A and B are shown apart, each in its own frame.
Chain A
Amino acid sequence: MTDFLYPFIEADERDAQSLLADLARSAESKAMDSRTLREATLERDAVAIARAAGAMAERLSAGAQLFVFGNGGSATDAAAVASMFRQPPFGRPLPARSLAADTAVITALGNDVGFELVFSRQLIAFAQPIDIAFGLSTSGSSENLLVAFAEARRRGLLTVGTAGFDGGRMAASPDIDHCLVVRSDSVHRIQEAQAALAVALWESVQRELESGRVVAP
């Protein structure tokens, strides 16, 4: 009888349990996808990671700064990368910072000269030829990253990028020395694997610096 008066109570109670079970299964399956993609990316790109890290370590040992940049979630990932290099959980602190961190600079440049120039203009202001530009994009085709990589190339910086999907325009860009691509079509899974790539780069840079093998260019 109460079903007649309050039909949603029983129905919703059952539905919530079934939804919760579905959500839990979905979360576990996606967590496994994420782990598989991270492991596969690190394995497939092991040589490219070592090569990029070797070049980064050479410059860092010679006094280079690392500039990291990206948009949206990739801007926060850029901040994480900069933070890991600058204030590492262990190992040698290195000069690194995010070009997406200062809202005054970003909004001034975006408003006055265009959003496609927000990173390149900062490289013009801050970068020396010895420095390193590291851009993260899930699409691989963010205009302001491509413009920044071109500027970095003109100035003699080492250029490192991480992209997703099929690598987008970054994969084909002659301005990027080391482009690491996470082969996935999920923006979230790409970001997670790019974070793993950045940690692998950082670990490899730390090992290179510790080994004393690094020769400044």
Chain B
Amino acid sequence: MHSGGEDPFGSLGADLSATALALARRFAGGATLWCWAPDAPEHAQHVAVEFVHPVIVGKRSLPAVAVHGDPLAATAQLRPLCRSGDVLIAVGSWSRHREVSPVLLRARSWGVTTIWVGAGERPPVGAADFVLAAEGDGALASYDGRLVLVYHLLWELTHVCFEHPGLLRPDVEGEGPACVTCSDEGRLAEVVSCDTGEVLGRTAAGVETIDTTLVDAVDAGDVVLVHAGMAVTIVDHRR
């Protein structure tokens, strides 16, 4: 039995509310929700079916799609599918799948908002735009309903946000953690080609030429931080 009095779910309520509002805003802007669960694909499918075919009659169907596979396979699927403004939700155990991080990083470089849902160890700060941690740290939370609860609540809260259309306008952004990809300091870009002597990188704004004279040689698939058209550092090498 749990002890009474204290907050048993930590920051989950506040984390869910900020995530739901951001997700509803993305949906209102035309986003697709990409769902990926490397160690338990059924969670990705469960998230997707919640949004596509709501259990409550009358709630709108929203575009959510499960993708499968290990991090390399998932990245290869997501790269052509994701558009800037989309959302990627990764469900799983961080300690078992640290390699989730490069997938989230690449998605963010494309202008995709990232959400991590899991139990146990939390990802490091900045690994995802939003982090939702289920109660409990046992291996069983993924099976016994505690993890499912988190994305059920995300679905429920997202639909509540749709009852507040004024808050879903693109000009009232601002809640939730700041997104690195959109800040003034620099933008993430994934290198898409460097064959012709000219390096092309994909950012939230599209594909653009990047000057890489300040950094080591880059390969397609690397993620760089771009400021004023210059790559200032290589954030992650191609895997």
A binds B: yes
With beta carbons under 8 angstroms apart, the residue of B17, B53, B139, B148 that contacts A23 is B17
Binary CB contact string for chain B from 116 to 154 against chain A (1 if under 8 A, 0 otherwise)? 000000000000000000010001101111101100110
Q: Are B139 and A89 closer than 8 Å at their CB atoms? A: yes
A24 to B20, CA, bound (A): 10
A4 CB–B CB distance under 8 Å: no
With beta carbons under 8 angstroms apart, the residue of A20, A89, A138 that contacts B175 is A20
* Chain A residue at minimum C-beta to C-beta distance from B20: A23
The residues in B between 34 and 62 inclusive whose CB is less than 8 angstroms from any CB of A are 40-43, 45-46, 49-50, 53, 55-56
* Chain B residue at minimum C-beta to C-beta distance from A6: B171
Chain B residues whose CB sits within 8 angstroms of the CB of A199 once the complex forms: 140, 143-145
Q: Are B21 and A198 closer than 8 Å at their CB atoms? A: no
Q: Residues of A within 8 Å of B, CB-based: how many? A: 48
A53 to chain B, nearest CB (A): 15
- A84-B143, A195-B143 given as contacts; is B149 within 8 A of A72 (CB)? no
Q: Are B157 and A26 closer than 8 Å at their CB atoms? A: yes
A68 to chain B, nearest CB (A): 11
A214 to B135, CA, bound (A): 34
A15 CB–B CB distance under 8 Å: yes
Q: Are B50 and A27 closer than 8 Å at their CB atoms? A: no
- A8-B172, A83-B40, A192-B149 given as contacts; is B46 within 8 A of A23 (CB)? no
* Listed stretches B76-84, B159-167, B210-218, B229-237; interface member: B159-167
27 contacts between A and B (CB under 8 A): A12-B167, A12-B169, A12-B172, A13-B174, A19-B17, A19-B160, A20-B14, A22-B17, A23-B157, A25-B13, A26-B156, A26-B160, A27-B157, A28-B7, A32-B8, A34-B145, A34-B149, A72-B49, A76-B46, A77-B46, A79-B41, A83-B42, A191-B148, A192-B145, A192-B146, A199-B143, A199-B144
Other than the given A19-B21, A31-B8, A77-B148, 14 more pairs (CB < 8 A) read: A8-B169, A11-B166, A16-B172, A26-B160, A28-B7, A28-B12, A30-B149, A35-B135, A39-B1, A75-B45, A76-B43, A192-B146, A192-B152, A195-B144
